[in-house]
Amino acid sequence: MNPVQTSVEFDDRTVRRFLIAMLFWGTIALLAGVLIAFQLHRWQLNGKEFGGGEGIEWLTFGRLRPVHTNAAIFAFVGNMMFAGIYYSTQRLCKVRMASDILSGIHFWGWQFIIVCAAVTLPLGLTRGKEYAELIWPINVLVAVVWVIFGLNFFLTLKRRNEPSLYVALWFYIATIITVAMLYIVNHLSIPTGWTHSYPLFGGVQDALIQWWYGHNAVAFFLTTPILGIMYYFMPKAAERPVYSYRLSIVHFWSLVFIYIWAGPHHLLNTALPYWLQMLGVLFSLMLWAPSWGGMLNGLLTLRGAWHKLRTDPVIKFFAAAVTFYGMATFEGPLLAIRSVNALSHYSDWTIGHVHSGTLGWNGFMAAGMTYWLVPRLWKTELARPGWANMHFWIGLVGILMYVAAMWISGITQGLMLNQLSDDGSLKYQFLDTLKAIRPLMLFRAIGGTLYLAGFVMMVINVWLSVRGREPVNGSIRVVVETPKKPPFWKAIFAEPVIFPALAITGYCLWFLLPGLYAWGGLVLGLDMSWRTVWLFVRHKRKWTAWYEGLLENWAPFSLLVLVAAAAGGMLQIIPTLTFNRAANVEDRLQIVPTPLELAGRDIYISEGCYGCHSQMVRTLAPEVLRYGDYSRLGESIFDYPFQWGSKRTGPDLAREAGKRNNTWHYQHLMDPRALSAGSNMPSYHWLDTQKTDLASLPRRVAVQLQLGVPYPAMTQDEIRQRAIEQGVGIAQDLRKNGLYVDPESRMVALIAYLQKLGLSEEVTPPERPMGAMVPITAQP
């Protein structure tokens, strides 16, 4: 076929839409963040101060925190990523997006999802898993819209007029495939109604899957797409070639492969089996170099263009963003060391760490990209270049203030909590530590406010720039050629795939198998590693040519990405699903909650209590002294979803049962400061007047049974009856102290649940089945 010359007009309208949506939702996400940051310093900002009595339920920290996190991740960075991907993919493929209809559905579908989230989360409709809080009908929408986005993207790749895939596209491919995998697995649930469901996995299994998802949401939603965007916009803005193509290859594949394994570092020193903790620690350490590869390739691309740093706000933002990326990915492996994590986990240090990533890396990349795109998408100039400069400095000071406050806060609190007096008693009460970090909470909120102010300057600047301007779509002339494609399987069954794959298989067998089999895996791993290196050195050119061929063949490339990204998760999750079940746990088994306690648990989740309270006593002496015996795997095995938590703004509740009487809990929930002077917990007075949803309780128990929670046989009436009886018992107990409470109120259900936390029975661990994992998981 003869080459045909044709003209392509890009679909830049979708890019503009996503860009505007990003500016809008970014402002909302930051506003929500600033509000809840101030709430931690001054709880009355939950509505009490705007005339909302003792506080407004949908303005409390527990319900707004998921609004903030979901808005920041999915609304702000999501829309930013789509704008960047739609703009760059069309140009890198020299073709218009495959379907305007799919682009339209993607855009409006995504905005509809965000609106749904913004409505449901403050109402307390949640799945109770971090960054996966949205209720199941919205989950289905997200999955559908994501698949539509993927379809649109891959069809565009298929029709491209540029034979070779540029590195930015590799990162987009990794994003689309891996996010789909993570999202779907972590959102598997069984509905109990239109707005509520229980996740398919519980206890340690849920913990592992949640953090496989949570950690890699950071990796594949907040990192890989932004790296792709960096690879496109950085050389464009700097007008310099990318520093190193080889570095791109090595750091891309190592990043995609290693990142997935690091999830368990969110669960260090917990009841998670030791071998999984070790995988989390070691892979986090190995992740350092691949992450820095991205930073190096970004920063060194600026060689020869450093003078632009003084004048061009775009370069300024990009350079700072990539530097923050480097700092955050250096801090990450550090925090993943078990002894450091013992201090930092559950404290503000971790929160500071993620914010240096989101504010510094994501936020500044978004700003740089916006300032670069706006003049091109509307054929205009930035109305106020000085404001962009101001935005940079005010934002930078904001982040630094935020991160510094959180370092000091986290380390202070961690040290205080671990400190013992000479007589062996704990030196500080939890509340003492809270009072100590209170001023830092103010600094952090001010830092966030500065950052928000900078962002608003950008929004105004963009509005001033595009006001009255005509949107312009880019276009190019291309020569359409029929690409010659190497066959699919030939691209995959090649030395550079087979040998590393065999090496990795060997190591995986070594990780998993017991005794002598493990040695076999190790030998295979080492042997194949050696062969890989040897073949690479010998056939460098052949291997390079093979990779260039692969780059012209998007389907095998994507398949390899999928395999690389799926490996780590599968190796960790499948053994956990088969071996860490209720029938096969350590020496304690959780007592199944009664129907009322289950209802209370759902209220606990709905109010977002897990945002501030963990239920996990780690294997650390000060923690055992403060909260009681360390948590065992079996003690949360019937928790759908698990409630180990990730942050302690309040104390751990794993062993709350029986520590305090019902009167204490009632009065504490009504007015926390009456019993805990200096507490920043909001008042939960509305629980006193709202009724527990007893009607749906039988359905919830039925789903729990389906999931494998051994409830005794009960009819629907018996379930409700038992709940009411237990509630009456608690109400009567409260009445003895002159407190008149409706036995069917949510308050009573929540108290019932709190009085059950940590109750377990001693069981004799069964003989462990023979096979994989035996020598490893046998370690308590």
Partner 1 sequence: MSPADPSQPDPPSGQPEKDRWPVLRDHVYDGIQEFDQPLPNWWLWTLYLAILWTLTVWFWEFQIARPLNLAKPDGQRVSEAVTEVKDRQAAHLTQVLSTLDDRRFWEMARNPEVTARGQTTYENICAACHAKDLSAMMGGAKLPGLPLNDAEWKYGGKPLDIFRTVTKGSPDPTKGMIAWEPQLGGVKVAEIVAYILSTHQPEADLTAK
- The interface with partner 1 within residues 92-111 (CB under 8 A) comprises 92, 94
Residue 480 is classified by DSSP as E
Helix or strand (DSSP H, E) at 780? none
Ranges within 143-182 binding partner 1 (CB under 8 A) = 162, 164, 166-167
Task: Select the residue interacting with partner 1 from 51, 484, 677, 767 (CB under 8 A).
Answer: 677
Is residue 224 a contact partner of residue 85, using CB atoms and an 8 Å limit?
Answer: no
For residue 455, the SS3 value is helix
Q: Which residues pair with 745 in a beta bridge?
A: 691
User: What would the x/- binding string for partner 1 be over residues 181 to 220, using CB under 8 A?
Assistant: ----------------------------------------
Task: Select the residue interacting with partner 1 from 24, 536, 664, 711 (CB under 8 A).
Answer: 664
> Which window, 313-321, 409-417, 422-430, 643-651, contacts partner 1 (CB under 8 A)?
422-430
Residue with tokens 């490893």, as numbered in its chain: 776
Task: Select the residue interacting with partner 1 from 541, 713, 762, 764 (CB under 8 A).
Answer: 541
> Which window, 191-199, 307-315, 594-602, 618-626, contacts partner 1 (CB under 8 A)?
618-626
Ranges within 543-602 binding partner 1 (CB under 8 A) = 544-545, 548
Minimum CB distance to partner 1 smaller for 134 or for 271: 271
User: What would the x/- binding string for partner 1 be over residues 623 to 662, using CB under 8 A?
Assistant: -xxx---x--------------------------xxxxx-
- Output the CA angle 215-218-220, nearest 5 degrees: 105
Parallel, antiparallel, or unpaired for β 760-762 and 4-9? Answer: unpaired
- Alpha carbon of residue 89 to chain centroid: 25
Kindly state whether residue 242 participates in binding partner 1, applying the rule CB under 8 A.
yes
Other residues' Cβ atoms within 10 Å of the Cβ of residue 247? 16
User: What would the x/- binding string for partner 1 be over residues 374 to 413, using CB under 8 A?
Assistant: ----------------------------------------
Rounded-to-integer distance, Cα 469 and Cα 691, Å = 55
Task: Select the residue interacting with partner 1 from 66, 124, 225, 235 (CB under 8 A).
Answer: 235
Least distance in angstroms from the C-beta of 183 to partner 1: 29
Minimum CB distance to partner 1 smaller for 140 or for 479: 479
Residue 20 CB partners (closer than 8 Å, separation 6+): none
Task: Select the residue interacting with partner 1 from 406, 620, 747, 754 (CB under 8 A).
Answer: 620
Ranges within 255-274 binding partner 1 (CB under 8 A) = 269, 274
Helix or strand (DSSP H, E) at 475? strand 475-480
CA neighbor of 687 nearest in space, from 731, 730, 739, 747: 747
Task: Select the residue interacting with partner 1 from 423, 717, 762, 767 (CB under 8 A).
Answer: 423
Q: How big is the chain, counted in residues?
A: 780
Minimum CB distance to partner 1 smaller for 139 or for 662: 662
Residue 637 is classified by DSSP as T
Rounded-to-integer distance, Cα 2 and Cα 486, Å = 20
Minimum CB distance to partner 1 smaller for 688 or for 693: 688
Minimum CB distance to partner 1 smaller for 111 or for 580: 580
| HSE-up of residue 18 (Cα within 13 Å, Cβ side) | 29
- Alpha carbon of residue 697 to chain centroid: 31
Least distance in angstroms from the C-beta of 742 to partner 1: 17
Ranges within 428-487 binding partner 1 (CB under 8 A) = 429
Q: Which residues pair with 647 in a beta bridge?
A: 346
Which two tokens mark 643? 């409630």
* 3-class secondary structure per residue, 485-554: CCCHHHHHCCHHHHHHHHHHHHHHHHHHCCHHHHHHHHHHHHHHHHHHHHHHHHCHHHHHHHHHHHCCCH
- Alpha carbon of residue 492 to chain centroid: 32
Ranges within 490-509 binding partner 1 (CB under 8 A) = 507
Minimum CB distance to partner 1 smaller for 70 or for 277: 277
Task: Select the residue interacting with partner 1 from 390, 459, 460, 522 (CB under 8 A).
Answer: 522
Task: Select the residue interacting with partner 1 from 250, 472, 479, 574 (CB under 8 A).
Answer: 250
Ranges within 272-291 binding partner 1 (CB under 8 A) = 274-275, 278, 282-283, 285-286, 288-290
Least distance in angstroms from the C-beta of 246 to partner 1: 6
Task: Select the residue interacting with partner 1 from 7, 425, 715, 764 (CB under 8 A).
Answer: 425
Total number of residues binding partner 1 (CB under 8 A)?
82
Rounded-to-integer distance, Cα 256 and Cα 119, Å = 35
Kindly state whether residue 5 participates in binding partner 1, applying the rule CB under 8 A.
no
Task: Select the residue interacting with partner 1 from 8, 151, 518, 562 (CB under 8 A).
Answer: 518
Helix or strand (DSSP H, E) at 122? none
Task: Select the residue interacting with partner 1 from 24, 58, 154, 292 (CB under 8 A).
Answer: 292
Rounded-to-integer distance, Cα 345 and Cα 327, Å = 18
Helix or strand (DSSP H, E) at 743? none
Cis-peptide into 712, omega within 30 deg: no
What is the chain's Cα-based Rg?
Answer: 27
CA neighbor of 325 nearest in space, from 351, 349, 359: 359
> Which window, 239-247, 395-403, 462-470, 594-602, contacts partner 1 (CB under 8 A)?
239-247
User: What would the x/- binding string for partner 1 be over residues 49 to 68, using CB under 8 A?
Assistant: --------------------
> Which window, 188-196, 369-377, 462-470, 617-625, contacts partner 1 (CB under 8 A)?
617-625
Least distance in angstroms from the C-beta of 13 to partner 1: 19
Kindly state whether residue 533 participates in binding partner 1, applying the rule CB under 8 A.
no
Least distance in angstroms from the C-beta of 522 to partner 1: 7
> Residue 225 class from Cβ within 10 Å (0-12 exposed, 13-18 middle, 19+ buried)?
buried
Ranges within 703-762 binding partner 1 (CB under 8 A) = 737-739, 755
